[in-house]
Structure formats: C-alpha cells, structure tokens
Structure 1
Amino acid sequence: MSEKPPYVSLHVEESPSNAKSNPADAGAAFVLESKGTWYHAGFHLTTAIVGPTVLALPYALRGMGWGPGLLSLTVAFLITYYNYMLMSKVLDHCESKGRRHIRFRELAADILGSGWMYYFVVTVQATINTGVSIGSILLAGDCLEIMYTDLYPDGPLKLYHFIIIVTVVLILLSQLPSFHSLRYINLASLVLCLAYTLLVVIGCIRAVTTSSEF
C-alpha cells in the first residue's frame, strides 16, 4: 500500500497560522507567509534562470550560425514554456482540490501516487543541487582568479584561495532564512545580467562593423 504523499493543505485546520504548532510544517508556513511582491519574484526568477549556462549560449552556439542557432534557441524556448505551462496547470489543479504544493517532491508524490516517488525526487534534487553547487563554486573561483591575474599578474593568490572565498560566501548566504532575504542581492544580479547582455550586444555589433570595414 503506497504512502499518502505529503502536502500543504489550504483547509482551515491546517492553515499556515496553525501549522506553526507542528514542527513538520514550519518551513511551509514560513514560505506561505512570505512578504515578497511580484517584482521580488522577478528578481529571484531572473537570477535563477540567467545563470552561467544561459550566459554562455552565445559562445556555445557561435559555430552553428544564425539559422541553426536561432532555431535551437526557439525550440528550447518552446519546450521550456510548455513545461512551465504544464506545471502551472498541474499546480492550479492540485490547489483547487485543497492541496497547495511548494516542493517538487510533494507534487511528484501527489501526481504519481506512490510513496517511493517522493524519495526518488528527493534523491534526484539532491544530486542536481550538489552538482550545480560544486560547478558554480569552481566557475566563480575560476572567474575571480582570471580577474585577479589580470590586475595582479604576480599576485600570490591561487585558484584554491578563490574557491575557498566563494565557498565561505555561499555558506554565509545559505544561512539566510528565505529567498526574500536575498532580494537585494538578486536585484544586483539582475542589473549585472542586463549589463552583461548589453555589453555582449555592443561587442557583437562592433565586431560586425569592424570586420565589414576590412
């Protein structure tokens, strides 16, 4: 007999205010009582989506040319849009039945109706998060080393120093209670992403203009 999947109920007896008395629901109650606004959500979503992978797309697709490159980006956009639309409809359906999910593992367990699926999704999420965290730390440390060596070619700091610095910063940030606490950091990240995009566009236009002159 399969286990009943956990979920956050919208009924009065299990509302966020009453969930405070239950330690198992403390995290859900905290999230549901968030004071964030829609533009705070925009900061968080942009920062989550526009990561190193997306920023590296121009370099990754440069060998494909304009036609195949734009086609690949369009296909990726359509697939991503369909996935988010499908997930939104599923979440709305569950919420209309009195179950509001705020975690992927709970949503998967509710949809597939199997207790083992809950733990399967937990394992997959933990694996992905571990890989992304390690990759982000290494990439950030490498970028800091590049900037450092440009400014101080004979400086004493090595790559592992910057990896330690990034790791310590991430450990400190991980102690913040919620994404809402990161809203100003994510706003700065959004500004940097827009600045990066602007610089890439200007650089591409300049490269095309310069090459056409010769």
Structure 2
Amino acid sequence: MAKEMQKASMFIERNPGDYENGDVDKNLDDDGRVKRTGTWLTASAHIITAVIGSGVLSLAWAIAQLGWVAGPAVLMAFSFITFFTSTLLADCYRAPDPVHGNRNYTYMDAVRAYLGGRKVQLCGLAQYVNLLGITIGYTITASISMVAVKRSNCFHKHGHHVKCQTSNNPFMIIFACIQIILSQIPNFHNLSWLSILAAIMSFAYSSIGLGLSIAKLAGGGHVRTTLTGVTVGVDVSGSEKIWRTFQAIGDIAFAYAYSTVLDTIKSSPPENKSMKRATTLGVSTTTVFYVLCGLVGYAAFGNDAPGNFLTGFGFYEPFWLIDFANICIAIHLIGAYQVFAQPLFGFAESWCARHWPENKFITGEHAVDVPCYGVYNVNFFRLVWRTAYVIVTAVVAMLFPFFNDFLGLIGAGSFWPLTVYFPIEMHIAQTKLPKYSLRWIWLKILSMICLMVSLVAAAGSVQGLIQSLKTYKPFST
C-alpha cells in the first residue's frame, strides 16, 4: 500500500457539482473518484512487477551464506509471512468495515483509521525513511551495473586476467544528472510510461540472469556447495559466518519488502477479496521465481557466488548479453528511482505549501515555453528541493557504495514495521481481538519474532558496512 500514496495522486479531483450530473456519475465510484476498473489479475501483475526487481540479484549470494537447508527455508518463511500479513492489510483497505467501510487511499490513512495517534507519524517515518534508503540503494545498484558494462567490454577485449578497474563515482554522477531532469516532472501520473518501461526491464534482466545460471549449470564444471552454505575455516571465519548469515536474511527481506498496488481494483466483488486473490497469485509466482534464481544461482556458482550475479562476473560470455542485462538494470532503476522518490517529493511540497501558502517561492508557478515540449510550469522550490534531494542521495551512495550491505540494511529496516507490525496491529484493532486470547498471543509472537529477525539482519548489514569502510577510500576507485 505504500505505492498507493503515489497512485492516489493519479485520481482526478471533481467539483461537487459534477456528482449531480448523471453522465459523470457513471464514470465515478461511490467516493466521487474515477471509477476503478482493475481486477485481481491486473493487481497480481502489479505485485509481480513490484516484487521482481534488483533484490533478485543478490539471492544467489544469500543462499550461498545460508546453504541448501536454511536458504530455501528462509525464502519460504518470508514468502508465507508476506502473504499472511498482506491478507490482513487487504482487509484494512476499508474502515471500519472491510467490505462496506470508507476507503483508505494510503497506508497512513489505514493506520490513522484503525490505530490513530502517534502510530500514524511512526508509519509515515518508516515509509519515508524506507523510500530514502531505496533511492540511495538504487543509485548504488545502477552505477554498479553501468560500471559492469564497461568492465565486460574490457574483459572481452583484453582477457579475464586484466583487472579493468573502474570508479563508480562518474556513473553515479551521470545517474544523478538523469534523475535531476526526471525529478522536475511535477506529477506522478506523468511517469506511467517510465513505470511500464521499468517493469519490462525488470523481467528482462531477471530472466537473463536465471537463463545464464541454467546455462552455466548445464555446461558442467565443479562448484562447491554445502548444506550449511559457506564453510567456517575454509571460506570464512566463525564470526564472518554469523554476520554474513544475518546480512543474507536482510537481503531476502529486501527482496520481499514490496508494497501492494491495489487501489485501482473495482469494488465488485469486494476489494479485499480481490486483493487476497491477487496476493495469492502474485506472492506464489514471485516465490517460485525467487527460489529458481536463488537455488539455480547457488548451484551454478557454489559458495563463491558473487554479491550481484550480473555484475560480480561469475559470467563473462556472451559479453553482449551481459551488457544488455546490465543496461536493463540501469534503465529499470532510472524509472524505479522516480517511483520511490515522487511520494517524498509530494509529501515535502504539500507540507510546505500548507504551512507557507503565501510564500511565492514555494507556491508560485512560472510558465516557460520549452521547444518540442510546450509550456512548462517552473516552481523554484520544486526545482531547488528535488535537485538537492538527488544530489544528497548521490553523495551518500558515493560514501557507502556497498550493494549487499545496503540492500540488507534497507530490507531489515522496512520489513518488520511496514510488512508485519502495522498490518497485525490494524487487524487486532479491526477485529477487536481480546487481549491475551490465543490468536492475539500468536500474532504478537509472530510480530516479535520478525522484529528480532529484522534487528539481527540490520546488525549484520551494519557490521558489513563497517568492515567495507575499513578498506574503502571515498570518492576514489
């Protein structure tokens, strides 16, 4: 539902008088907004598109840390928990009744309706910090993919023994420049074409990675895999094994920490039933895809699986296909960055406009005639704030350009509050579960277990960042 914040801005506001017009009514829902036409099938597609992203790139590495037993078990556990809490969240789309109540257009609206108080602010903080972390993570991932294209061509030309060292920083700057331009698009609904392109790219590079892993596995060659993953005393020390295990859990949490885009589902049958059906198909499909990518990737690379199996150069040939896959990643993340940044932009701009409505710097629009585009309304606050935001995310990415560590930290930070805690608390409030009843107890236990898992995953990622920073020199190759 976090993406519902973005989708909410897509609805066309109508004047009250419009509702009296019978010709308009047939195009509007009972809440006066544009009639929703989505079905459980389209919602399933949205979920699959949202889930299958850059998180899939680290799954082979994560399985390598956990092994053949714990790896699939953790994947399935996260799958089940995500599915279960998503069904609870679906019932919170309307309040107070899940079928006939008032619609909640954003995650925060649902929390406000069922929990209220300071938990609304905590939900908003969790969401926006998560969005900030994701945009930084995407800057890192996109630059790594662009560097991989350059290195792939270098390896093809000079041989695999050449180091072909390349700095990420110039590519982060290029990525940031592109985002500064795209960030000036004022409304999220103007970016629908970018979201469609990003979704196509996501499926393309994920499928290429899976296909290359299958080809490598079919080609033979011995790789070392074990039931428990990387071996203490051979691959890692005892402490490294523990920290890497925690970090791997965070990477898997990142892969499953998705936001359901279900607010365009039509109201008949009831939205919560369609959402649950969509969640079943969407989560089961992505779980099958994740298990394939993770397990086949581990079988192909063994305990030496790279952190990102498309940029870690487990594959060298065909170099053109690897280049294409990494270009797809970069294009996907260019669009995905805006998908996650736009709610932050909108929140800050609407908050400032409410508090300083007379300030022309914040609210003033200046029409500029742009060749080949037409009239574009420039808002100086939007220009300065969005540009500054992109620059800050790029600078932080240059300071901490560590793919697996950062993905694990984002996953650990977002999984428990947004995927587990708030859906469970809203369900308890909605159903008025008696305190200390059997269902109340096991829901609380599930929430506490997920909290502890998130804490250890965050600890593993932070430790990984600290270790990486010991040898890393910022703003250098």
Same fold at TM > 0.5: yes
Specify the alignment match of 2:172 in structure 1: 163
The partner residue of 2:210 within 176, 189, 197 is 197
Q: Which has the higher helix share?
A: 1
User: What amino acid is aligned across from residue 58 of structure 1 in structure 2?
Assistant: A
The answer to whether the Cα contact below 8 Å between 1:44 and 1:183 also exists between their aligned partners in 2 is: no
User: What amino acid is aligned across from residue 148 of structure 1 in structure 2?
Assistant: K
The answer to whether the Cα contact below 8 Å between 1:40 and 1:180 also exists between their aligned partners in 2 is: no
The number of equivalent residue pairs is 187
Q: 1:185 to 1:64 in 2, by over 3 A?
A: closer
Specify the alignment match of 1:187 in structure 2: 200
Shifted more, 165-174 versus 187-196: the winner is: 165-174
Q: Matches of 1:45 and 1:147 in 2, distance apart?
A: 29
User: What amino acid is aligned across from residue 107 of structure 2 in structure 1?
Assistant: F
SS at the partner of 1:90? coil
User: What amino acid is aligned across from residue 151 of structure 1 in structure 2?
Assistant: N
The answer to whether the Cα contact below 8 Å between 2:139 and 2:172 also exists between their aligned partners in 1 is: yes
Specify the alignment match of 2:330 in structure 1: none
1:56-80 CA-to-partner distances (Å, cap 9, x unmatched) read: 1111111332222211111111111
CA RMSD of aligned residues (A): 3.6
Shifted more, 85-94 versus 100-109: the winner is: 85-94
Q: Matches of 2:64 and 2:132 in 1, distance apart?
A: 30
TM-aligned CA deviation for residue 135 of structure 1 = 1.3
Say if 2:101 is the partner of 1:98: yes
Q: Matches of 1:96 and 1:89 in 2, distance apart?
A: 8
TM-aligned CA deviation for residue 42 of structure 1 = 5.0
The answer to whether the Cα contact below 8 Å between 2:95 and 2:103 also exists between their aligned partners in 1 is: no
The answer to whether the Cα contact below 8 Å between 1:91 and 1:101 also exists between their aligned partners in 2 is: yes
Specify the alignment match of 2:300 in structure 1: none
Specify the alignment match of 1:3 in structure 2: none
1:33-60 CA-to-partner distances (Å, cap 9, x unmatched) read: 6777777655543342123223311111
Q: Percent identity?
A: 20
* Higher radius of gyration, 1 or 2: 2
User: What amino acid is aligned across from residue 105 of structure 1 in structure 2?
Assistant: M
Unmatched tracts of structure 2, length 5 or more: 1-11, 19-30, 156-162, 224-477
The partner residue of 2:116 within 88, 113, 116 is 113
Q: Matches of 2:132 and 2:17 in 1, distance apart?
A: 30
The answer to whether the Cα contact below 8 Å between 1:40 and 1:183 also exists between their aligned partners in 2 is: no
1:1-214 mapped onto 2 (5 Å cutoff): 17-18=14-15, 41=43, 44-91=46-93, 94=96, 96-114=99-117, 116-152=118-154, 158-174=167-183, 175=185, 177-178=188-189, 180-181=192-193, 182-206=195-219, 209-211=220-222
Shifted more, 90-99 versus 184-193: the winner is: 90-99
The answer to whether the Cα contact below 8 Å between 1:36 and 1:180 also exists between their aligned partners in 2 is: no
Unmatched tracts of structure 1, length 5 or more: 1-14, 22-28
